[in-house]
């Protein structure tokens, strides 16, 4: 498979034209325009499926063919749409502009280093790097809340799917350090390595969490083996699992709705430091679906 299997030559040429124009703007504007381009690139591809037979489940079937969308993966539907590149870019730019207008009154302090952030009582620091490498640079017991959405075993190969955007941005990524299970033979990313790296990640999170802190993991997996990283909590970690609750999505994906066995929800796993009292336990009990048990494997029936 090559890039020409995913995009028409016309689409690639027009993407290059937009990139050339973006480079003429100041850096701060470039970031917004590149975000616009990458977020709309999937809809510029040959992976936009065509919707046919809409209404068939309600016996109101239409012969009209409608534009669908790009879904996760590099699926190339036999019947697909080619959407004008500029129209995709312009539509996304208008949405970003509207969002920026809506939040224009909010100012956020952005720090340039971990030490500067920890010395401040407000602001944020954005780091694009390997999580283990970054966490090892942070002082112990310095973070009160850790929220993470790690790769869920073999459900979504994030870096592989991100190659479209990384190619557009001319970014190189380190596939070797990704915590993932992949069926790509050349990557040799098996479940045993995934479990070991998840254990290392949890160990680092345990070191960073304050005594009254909370660690939230958004997770689900089809098989019991992928949950084994939680086993280390009892013997090899300062963290303790105290409960979980189901996440609610703003909208389900095409895959969730149509793939047999597709998982319909994820779970928020809640952990705290062992032996430490928590002042928020009574609030967790009020969360819909809260349970003190590890979730059962939640696949679609």
pLDDT of residue 27: 94
Cβ atoms of residues 91 and 46 within 8 Å = no
Integer Cα distance of 88 and 104 in angstroms: 24
Q: What is the pLDDT of residues 22-32, one digit of tens each?
A: 999 999 999 99
Q: What is the pLDDT of residues 174-187, one digit of tens each?
A: 878 887 777 777 77
Structural domains of the chain sorted by starting position, each given as residue range(s) with its CATH number in brackets: 3-102 (no CATH), 139-284 (3.40.50)
Looking at the predicted structure, is the pLDDT value of residue 204 above 50? yes
Percent of the chain with pLDDT over 90: 34
Residue range 96-107: average pLDDT? 83
Q: What is the pLDDT of residues 113-156, one digit of tens each?
A: 999 999 998 899 999 888 999 999 999 999 999 999 877 656 66
Reported as a pLDDT band with limits 50, 70 and 90, residue 236 is low
Looking at the predicted structure, is the pLDDT value of residue 301 above 50? no
pLDDT of residue 299: 39
Q: What is the pLDDT of residues 32-90, one digit of tens each?
A: 999 999 999 988 988 887 777 666 666 666 677 777 777 767 788 887 788 899 999 99
Chain-centroid distance of CA 291 in Å reads: 25
């Amino acid at each position: 498979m090559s890039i020409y299997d995913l995009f028409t030559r016309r689409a690639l040429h027009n993407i290059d034209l937009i990139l050339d124009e973006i480079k003429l703007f100041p850096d701060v504007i470039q970031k917004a325009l590149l975000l616009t381009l990458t977020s709309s690139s999937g809809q510029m591809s040959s992976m936009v499926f065509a919707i046919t037979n809409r209404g068939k489940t309600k016996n109101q079937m239409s012969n009209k063919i409608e534009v669908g969308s790009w879904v996760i993966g590099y699926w190339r539907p036999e019947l697909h749409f080619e959407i004008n590149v500029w129209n995709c870019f312009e539509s996304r730019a208008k949405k970003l502009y509207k969002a920026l207008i809506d939040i224009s009154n909010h100012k956020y302090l952005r720090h340039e280093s971990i030490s500067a952030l920890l010395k401040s009582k407000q602001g944020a620091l954005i780091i694009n790097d390997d999580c283990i490498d970054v966490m090892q640079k942070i002082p112990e017991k310095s973070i009160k809340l850790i929220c993470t959405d790690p790769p869920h075993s073999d459900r979504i190969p994030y870096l592989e799917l991100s190659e479209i955007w990384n190619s557009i941005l001319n970014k190189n990524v380190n596939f070797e350090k990704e915590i993932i299970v992949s069926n790509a033979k050349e990557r040799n990313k098996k479940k045993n390595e995934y479990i070991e790296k998840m254990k290392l990640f949890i160990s680092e999170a345990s070191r960073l969490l304050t005594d009254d802190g909370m660690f939230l993991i958004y997770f689900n997996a089809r098989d019991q083996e992928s949950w084994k990283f939680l086993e280390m909590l009892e013997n090899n970690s300062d963290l303790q699992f105290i409960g979980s609750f189901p996440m609610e999505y703003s909208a389900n994906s095409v895959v969730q709705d149509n793939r047999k066995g597709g998982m319909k929800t994820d779970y928020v796993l809640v952990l705290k430091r062992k032996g430490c009292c928590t002042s928020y336990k009574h609030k967790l009990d009020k969360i819909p679906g809260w349970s003190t048990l590890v979730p059962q494997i939640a696949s679609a029936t």
